[in-house]
Structure 1
Amino acid sequence: MEETLLDREGNAIAYLDFADEKTIYLWDGTPVAYLENENRLYSFNGKHIGWYEDGVIWDLSGKKAGFNKKTVPVFAKFEPFKSFKKFKPFKSFTEFAKMKPLKSSNLSNENLMAYLKKGEK
């Protein structure tokens, strides 16, 4: 099962593949992050970058960084063609998860693509 991940403008940026170890891929097939216990979001370099809960990607400050189609605050735009998946890098040792902040109704200032790629190997 896959779930499209959109930015705050409704652009399809990535997708979450639940059948592939809960890996998040960009549309060009690049694996950029994955979910671990309690829906913690990690980059492949082991950095804890947020959470995925209730169809929303929450950043470390509790702001909304990304959405699924049901939670996006605007009309979802057309999804681009998916490229073949690229090889996933080995997962680095994961750092301890940050304390979960209170969830905010505010949107993150960082665009979703940059947010997901910040921990790229």
Structure 2
Amino acid sequence: MKKIIFLIPALFSVSTLFAQQISLFNSGGDPLAYIDYDQQATIYMWDGKPVAFIEQEGNDACVIGFNGNFLGWYENGVIYDKKGCAVGARDGAANMITKIEPMKGMQKITPIRPVTPISPLQPIWKIGWGKTSLTAFLSGGIK
């Protein structure tokens, strides 16, 4: 019995080591969201609320809200809006200093994924950050 008690925490710690989560930062370097690849590329806000997911469509990695709205693209670690402006990025993907990541909130239940819309043609990516905040961008996907 003692062996089983010690095995459970050991298995839990090993599984958390392999979690595939990529933090997403806004233009100021604040961690506001993250992609959880263990949850089928679901994008969560830092508090654990699922808001969107990444769907591969041909060569495009499209950001789709759980409300069915097409939000933008995820390309080379940067999230772009429909106009081609950067709204968020993973550490090292954009020229910015990132802040220390606080503890993430507990993940809420992920909604059922909607039928994904056909994505528009990608615009030419603009240099620099757009006027839309990462939070406002991702809020466009809330059910």
Could you say which structure has the larger radius of gyration? 2
Q: Deviations over 1:23-77 (max 9, x none)?
A: 0111111001100013111000111111111110011111111010012332100
**What is the SS of the residue equivalent to 2:38?**
coil
1:24 aligns with 2:51: no
Find the aligned partners of 2:129 and 2:105 in 1 and give their Cα distance.
29
TM-score by length of 2: 0.81
1:83 is displaced (CA, Å) by 1.4
Question: What fraction of aligned residue pairs are identical, expressed as a percent?
Answer: 34
- The answer to which structure, 1 or 2, has the higher relative contact order (CA under 8 A, 6+ apart) is 1
**What is the SS of the residue equivalent to 1:82?**
coil
**Alignment counterpart, residue 83 of structure 2, candidates 41, 58, 61:** 61
Instruction: Let me know the Cα RMSD of the aligned residues.
Output: 1.0
More helix by share: 2
Find the aligned partners of 2:45 and 2:51 in 1 and give their Cα distance.
7
1:18 is displaced (CA, Å) by 1.1
Write out the 4+ residue segments of structure 1 that deviate beyond 3 Å after TM superposition. Answer: none
Unaligned runs of 5+ in 1: none
Aligned to 2:97: 75
Please tell me whether the aligned partners of residues 32 and 43 of structure 1 are also in contact (alpha carbons under 8 angstroms): yes
Aligned to 2:33: 14
**Alignment counterpart, residue 140 of structure 2, candidates 97, 118, 121:** 118
Unaligned runs of 5+ in 2: 1-19
Please tell me whether the aligned partners of residues 67 and 141 of structure 2 are also in contact (alpha carbons under 8 angstroms): yes
